[in-house]
Structure 1
Amino acid sequence: MSKNVRALAARCLYAVVDNGRSLSEELPKQQQLIESGKDKGLLQELCYGVLRYLPELEQHVRRFVKKPLTGKQRVFHFLMMVGIYQIKFTRIPDHAAVAETVAATAILKNKHLKGMVNAVLRSYQREPELENPESLPDPVRFNHPGWFINKIKAGYPEQWQQILQQNLERPPMWLRVNQQKTSVEDYLNLLAEQDIAVKQVAEFSQAILLEQAVDVTKLPNFAEGWVSVQDGAAQMAAPLLQAQTNDNVLDCCAAPGGKTCHILELCPEINAMTAIDVEQSRLVRVEENLARLGLQAKVIAGDAANPESWFDGNLFDRILLDAPCSGTGVIRKNPDIKWLRRATDIDALVILQQQIMNSIWQLLKPGGTMIYATCSILPEENKQQIAKFLASTADAQLESITVAGESDDWQILPGENSMDGFYYAKLSKKC
């Protein structure tokens, strides 16, 4: 099989957009067909880029293709978007982008479409701009599905355009130092020795933001567990939980284990650490992360909504509930979320979150603390969810979160202090 990167990108995009596959699952399958690290990176850039700007790129294709492609020809619709994306958004020379994209038609086994693909890309080169961008439908203008735009407008009437724009940006790279191995100060010195520039260190969590993303193999002592990659917003969870010596701690919906590990890094003297996730396959990542970092936890495949199947009767002092959510705060990192999620998914997620929260609350000791967290920015999954829980749970009270001047709960929006969108609420159980 030829390793034409554009052909692989078109196949990957077709699988995600038309067949509903996850980009995190489909992209590695296509990357396995490539040996060159540079080409693997290009394939990722093309897939992520097209998914970021999908409606805009489709609008360009529709300008020049009067009859939509269907059936087995549908993959060529994505191939043309791959070509236009290269011309519009990358530094690849136009002639190379066109030539390689046209050559992909042979790999995709439909040479008679070669002329059409070539003609569309040449036409785009001659007429690169859409007419009257301001008059375009919102999904095309802002490169998000209409239902999502409407929700963001309703939830954030003053900030909705800024949120949508941030979702189109590339995510920065944040590091979490394993303070059982080294100090943040010493690790900053190691980064400086490797000429890896640091943009900032978060005051509350000590998360390190790099100037530019680097391959993890270039991070000093990464394989030895000195450091992990984790967004700055996600690194707020463990400090907010404030696990103490001799605590019995639960990380609920824990995979891939970043927060589990962070809790242990900050307080290795806790009595017991339990990490559960409903999917056994996802717990492999939790075990791998624990092993690399030299940490230990009890890892259980279990349904958080039905704890009777795994709970041993010992109540927890502290619980981190990183609830299943829409992922609408991490679209920068996972642009396929925009096209895989549906408006109807949100209602189902809200019900699931309620079920899990009500079940897990029963496992918390009186006087204990639970952090409710999501990587969502939708109010119904966050502020509204907590308001309902407090109204229906007599022994629950909301504790203030005073990080960065916040109080009560804390909604972080995409791009705020260079972080992902994230939500935190700190609940205590009355004695």
Structure 2
Amino acid sequence: MSRQSAPVPRLPEDSLAYALLTSARLIADVTAGKTLTEALAILWKSRPDTPAGTRGAILDLTYGCLRDYGRQDFILAKLLQKPLPEPLQSLLRVALHRLGVRADTAHTVVDQAVEAAATVLAGKFKGVVNGVLRNALRQSADLERAADADMVAEFRHPPWWIRRLRSQYPESWRSILAAGNTHPPMALRLNRRRTGLRATLEAFAAADLPVRELANGALLLERPVPVTRIPGFAEGLLSVQDAGAQHAARLLDLADGQRVLDACAAPGGKAAHILERADVSLLALDSDPQRAARVTDNLTRLGLEAEVRTADCRDSGRWWDGRPFDRILADVPCSASGVVRRNPDIKWLRRSDDIARFAAQQAEILEALWQVLAPGGRMLYATCSVFAEENQEQIAGFAGRHADCRQLPIGGQPDCQYLPCAEHDGFFYALLEKAA
């Protein structure tokens, strides 16, 4: 008679062990090349009934561990002769991250990580996981000191990223990197067609949600909360949008009656802001049908109307009717280096040569959109990047190729580079005017 293997133990969904292992599987997916968005979509589709509290625990562990790029791997290299098979290697990453932020629960973290390891590969690495984590605790002071002396482990970004920022921002590169490792702020945008500031502040006070208005009119929450707790969100009175992103509609210098193009519109935050500020005829494009559908959904929630089409803005022959636009928002695809704390998988997935690839795509978009801009019209070039190749150098190259292009100052400067900080993410803006 053949011998049956022992059944794999099931982890309770409300246990830390379950959250640790699920997070580890997500991180293993990212290290294998999958975006976190893709990995999460697959996870939630396969586990649609996951309780909200469990989802929150998984997301907190996953995002936190991914923000810690390089630090856990540095420590594990000191404690392991060779990496463990996935998802056990990532289980150790997640457990070390948890020990770093919740040292007071060390015993529970180790116990639950071992419980999780018992369900993987017949539990053959259960003892290894236990030993590594206990050694990490015993040697924590020495390991942390060594990690702080290593460039990647200290700054938690890939080496090419650190070197690029150090070269381009000799005075502020450390603060940019530090901001990229933090929890992002949560800012809101008023739909001023439906509500006003005073009523909004009163509603937030009644809901015990501390909030303050920033200089550009954005509302910054003292702490992030689920959108279900935001008074008026479901009714379309407010939207979640980073304060830095809320500069775009203002910089476009909108006026009623203009014909406006949002060339890379998804998920629709800037398109909605444009429509909230002025009565314009707006065409919103996105090359991805699912993302274009998100634009429509967002506009519908806010009670706004625009023409939304699925198209690559570079292929104007397929979508342009020949009538030029007075204003164009070119919020182009980029490295997203200015919003890395919101998308920490970027640090694991981006490569140095990706920046040149993005820059080439951006140049193609600029060339195509310039052809559909009316004489005397303005185009706002925007990225959520902090890398010069995608920003200042891109605009300098474009202006040098087009004699009919005049770069308009922003706040007394040739352009505007917002660096990530406690109030907003990193964004770049340049305003270009076409000669009449």
TM-score where L is the length of structure 1 = 0.94
1:144 aligns with 2:150: no
Deviation readout 1:99-147 (Å, 9 max, x if unpaired): 2111112333430111001111111111113265487431122111011
**Aligned match of 1:308:** 317
Q: Are the counterparts in 2 of residues 105 and 111 from structure 1 also a CA contact under 8 Å? A: yes
Root mean square deviation of aligned Cα? 1.5
> What SS class does the counterpart of residue 107 from structure 1 fall into?
coil
**Aligned match for 2:424, one of 419, 427, 430:** 419
1:373 aligns with 2:382: yes
- In 1, the alpha carbon distance for the partners of 2:287 and 2:50 equals 34
**Aligned match of 1:5:** 19
1:242 aligns with 2:247: no
The answer to which of 179-188 and 24-33 deviates more is 24-33
Which letter maps to 2:19? Answer: V
**Aligned match of 1:408:** 414
Deviation readout 1:264-295 (Å, 9 max, x if unpaired): 0111x21x110001111211211110111111
Structure 2: gaps of 5 or more residues:
1-9
Deviation readout 1:314-347 (Å, 9 max, x if unpaired): 1100000001100000011111111111111111
The answer to which of 101-110 and 349-358 deviates more is 101-110
Q: Are the counterparts in 2 of residues 274 and 300 from structure 1 also a CA contact under 8 Å? A: yes
Q: Are the counterparts in 1 of residues 75 and 147 from structure 2 also a CA contact under 8 Å? A: no
- In 2, the alpha carbon distance for the partners of 1:65 and 1:376 equals 36
**Aligned match of 1:430:** 435
Q: Percent identity?
A: 40
- In 2, the alpha carbon distance for the partners of 1:120 and 1:126 equals 10
1:110 aligns with 2:122: yes
> What SS class does the counterpart of residue 358 from structure 2 fall into?
helix
**Aligned match of 1:40:** 55
- In 1, the alpha carbon distance for the partners of 2:298 and 2:104 equals 37
Which letter maps to 2:136? Answer: Y
> What SS class does the counterpart of residue 215 from structure 2 fall into?
coil
Structure 1 residue ranges (4+ consecutive) displaced by more than 6 angstroms after TM superposition? none
1:64 aligns with 2:76: no
Deviation at 1:91, TM superposition (A): 6.3
Deviation readout 1:345-369 (Å, 9 max, x if unpaired): 1111111100100110110101111
Say if 1:197 and 1:157 are closer, same or farther in 2 by CA, change over 3 A.
same
> What SS class does the counterpart of residue 353 from structure 2 fall into?
helix
Which letter maps to 1:98? Answer: V
Deviation at 1:89, TM superposition (A): 1.2
Which letter maps to 1:165? Answer: A
**Aligned match for 2:183, one of 170, 174, 177:** 170
- In 1, the alpha carbon distance for the partners of 2:104 and 2:30 equals 24
- In 2, the alpha carbon distance for the partners of 1:84 and 1:412 equals 33
- In 2, the alpha carbon distance for the partners of 1:121 and 1:304 equals 51
Which letter maps to 1:418? Answer: E
TM-score where L is the length of structure 2 = 0.93
Which letter maps to 2:219? Answer: I
Which letter maps to 1:254? Answer: A
1:16 aligns with 2:30: yes
- In 2, the alpha carbon distance for the partners of 1:189 and 1:24 equals 35
Structure 1: gaps of 5 or more residues:
none
> What SS class does the counterpart of residue 209 from structure 1 fall into?
strand
